[in-house]
Amino acid sequence: MYQDLKNKVAIVTGASKGIGKAIAERLADEGVKVVVNYHSESSELNEFIEELKSRGDSVVAVQGDVTKEEDVKKLVAAAVDHFGSLDIMVNNAGIENEVPSKDLSLEDWNKVINVNLTGMFLGSREAIRYMSENDIKGSIINLASVHDKIPWPHFVHYAASKGGVKMMTETLALEYAPQRIRVNNISPGAIDTPINAEKLSDPVKKEEVIKLIPMGYIGKPEEVAACAAWLASSESSYVTGISLYVDGGMTKYPGFQAGKG
């Protein structure tokens, strides 16, 4: 537990499932008041919100599309209206789809760039505006990916968006360090969430993925959420501009693991 997180206020985008849901839950467990952003209503979301409320957590669910400027402004307004502030912004919402690059339409390229890069820019910008106007030494956490570093054929739009997020985060970290607004990335490896449920439900494909992970297993959303809680807390007070790879060693050249090369 991070004592300083109690009564802080956070927004988590795309928090109806997967990593965002785990981060919202972990922050709520830490005593953070959480704006749970969702894109579309679902029974899973309603159950999640009811469960958090039944534990006495302070949460509010707010619909919004992170690619729309007005919706992102609405999220910050909801944090301030419901809970009086904004200390932690977690830009988590993301999408991907597999297409060989030569067949990738401009529409699909724009869709992924809009959610994964522009959405994270809008979330970061609105949080920084509020935090700097109100002298809040906040923490902004962007969900990038190991593919901000590892090239990924058939996912060129995704890899480009995540590489963009990495450099956006580093630039914002440098720009707002004097105000003590920290901006960091979490770059997950393969995590068991709906985004890759189809791939991981195929035992052959799952084994192929596991071969790329030195620690030998697919990560859990809670293992990413634990890192988000640390980056949100003052225990990471001197950390800004990093990419925290939460990947079981995937970015450490697993092909060399058996002493090859």
Site for ligand NAD (CB under 6 A): which residue of 122, 188, 213, 236?
A: 188
Residue 4 φ/ψ, nearest 5 degrees: -70, -15
**2 given a catalytic annotation:** no
Q: Which of residues 53-82 bind ligand NAD (CB under 6 A)?
A: 65-67
Give the residue with the Cβ less far from ligand NAD, 67 or 169: 67
Is the separation of the CB atoms in 72 and 122 below 8 Å? yes
From the CB of 16, what's the least distance to ligand NAD, in Å? 4
Is there binding between residue 26 and ligand NAD (CB under 6 A)? no
CB atoms within 10 A of CB 84: 10
Contacts of 137 (CB under 8 A, 6+ apart): 131, 179, 180, 181, 182
Q: Of 48 and 176, which CB lies nearer to ligand NAD in the complex structure?
A: 48
Q: Which of 51, 97, 171, 194 binds ligand NAD (CB under 6 A)?
A: 194
How far CA 20 is from CA of 16, 134, 221, 228, in Å, comes to 7, 26, 8, 10
Cα–Cα distance for residue pair 95/177, rounded to 1 Å: 29
Residue 75 burial (CB count, 10 A): 25
Tell whether residue 24 is a contact of ligand NAD (CB under 6 A).
Answer: no
Per CB under 6 A, the list member of 8, 9, 10, 18 interacting with ligand NAD is 18
The footprint of ligand NAD on this chain (CB under 6 A) covers a number of residues equal to 25
17 binds ligand NAD per the rule CB under 6 A: yes
Nearest-angstrom CA–CA distance, 127 and 9? 12
Is 191 a binder of ligand NAD (CB under 6 A)? Answer: yes
Contact segment (CB under 6 A) with ligand NAD among 2-10, 79-87, 184-192, 231-239 equals 184-192
How many CB atoms are located within 10 Å of the residue 47 CB? 10
Question: CB-wise, 16 or 169, nearer to ligand NAD?
Answer: 16
Q: Which stretch binds ligand NAD (CB under 6 A): 2-10, 48-56, 176-184, 187-195?
A: 187-195
Comparing CA positions, the residue from 127, 131, 129 lying closest to residue 119 is 127
According to the binding rule CB under 6 A, does residue 145 interact with ligand NAD? yes
Cβ atoms of 160 and 128 within 8 Å: the answer is no
Among candidate residues 2, 38, 130, 158, the one labeled active-site is 158
User: Considering the rule CB under 6 A, would residue 173 count as an interface residue with ligand NAD?
Assistant: no
Beta bridge partners of 33: 9
232 binds ligand NAD (CB under 6 A): no
Least separation in angstroms between residue 54's CB and ligand NAD is 21
The partner residues of 36 in beta bridges, in order of sequence, read 12, 61
The strand pairing partners of 12, in sequence order, are 36, 90
Q: Provide the binding-site residues for ligand NAD, judged by CB under 6 A.
A: 13-14, 16-20, 39, 65-67, 92-95, 115, 143, 145, 188, 190-191, 193-196
Instruction: Report, as residue numbers or ranges, the catalytic residues.
Output: 158
